[in-house]
Amino acid sequence: MCPSATSTFASIPLSDSTIQRHVNDIAADMREQLNGVISQCVYFSLALDESTDVSDIAQLAVFTRFVDKDFNVTELLDVVPMKGTTTTEDIFNAVEELLENVSLDLKKTVFCCYRWGTGNACR
């Protein structure tokens, strides 16, 4: 990749445990940042899209847009594998569980748009 920097790269410790520790540190930092955004959230909107992946497992894409008191906007995407059926109740339960996991109050939802199969709806 960079032949002139081979000796520099060789001196960097990249054992499995080092890489794992770095990944865990990055994940912890991202969780902390997300918690900070969520704690400042005044309102949020959801856009949901259910589709099936190549292994025939239903996946629910959840796009969330957070707005704080200063009207700063943060967007987040999460993909939730659906277990079993994908009824309206199943999708609601998956979204509710996702929001509970990040301590986000469903009462702060101001808009929800969803699409699965051939149906579309916005509330």
Residue spans of the chain under pLDDT 50: none
Q: Does 5 fall in a domain? A: no
Chain mean pLDDT for the chain = 84
Are 13 and 35 a contacting pair, CB within 8 Å?
no
- Return the pLDDT at 117: 58
- Return the pLDDT at 34: 85
Q: How far apart are CA 94 and CA 111, in angstroms?
A: 17
Q: Does 4 fall in a domain? A: no
Q: Does 72 fall in a domain? A: yes
- Return the pLDDT at 118: 55
Q: Does 30 fall in a domain? A: yes
Q: Are strands 73-81 and 109-116 parallel, antiparallel or unpaired?
A: unpaired
Q: Does 86 fall in a domain? A: yes
Q: How far apart are CA 67 and CA 71, in angstroms?
A: 5
- Return the pLDDT at 83: 83
Q: Does 32 fall in a domain? A: yes
- Return the pLDDT at 65: 92
Q: Does 9 fall in a domain? A: no
- Return the pLDDT at 52: 83
Number of domains into which the chain is organized: 1
Q: Does 2 fall in a domain? A: no
Q: How far apart are CA 9 and CA 3, in angstroms?
A: 10
Full residue range of the structural domain in which residue 77 is found? 15-116
